[in-house]
Amino acid sequence: METGLFTAPVSGTYFFSFRGQKRSAQYLMYLGLWKNGEEMAGVYEDNLDPLNPNPSPGNASNNLILHLFERDQVYLMISDNAIAFSTVFGKYVGFSGFLLFPDNPYA
C-alpha cells in the first residue's frame, strides 16, 4: 500500500496495529486510527519534562479489532501541533492490518 489509506476488499473482521515515535521529550505525539471519518482508537506519547529534556524519542503503539464492510477506509491521523519522528533512514509511524475472517467465507 502506497497511499496510507486501507480500503477493505471484503466485509469482515480485521486486526490492526499502529505505532509512532516522537522526536524527543520536547514534543508530544498523538496518533489516531480512523475508520470512515470516525476515530476508533488512539495513542498519546507525552513525557514532557522541561527540567530534564530527554533527547531520546518516545514510542507508543496500539492494536485493535474492527469490523469493516467492503470499501470501508482505515487510516492514521496525527494531531495538530504533534511531531512524529522521521529521518532520511526511515519513517517511524505506521500501521498494518489483516483480515481475521470474512463475513461470508464462500463469497
Task: Please spell the DSSP secondary structure of 17-54, one letter per residue.
Answer: EEEEEES-TT--EEEEEEETTEEEEEEEE----TTS--
pLDDT digits 0-9 by tens, 56-94: 667 778 899 999 999 999 998 877 665 555 555 556 777
Are the C-beta atoms of residues 21 and 84 closer than 8 Å to each other?
Answer: yes
Higher pLDDT, 37 or 23: 37
Grid cell, residue 59, equals 514510542
Percent of the chain topping pLDDT 90: 36
Q: What is the DSSP letter of 80?
A: T
SS3 4: coil
CA distances from 33 to 28, 51, 103 (A): 17, 32, 22
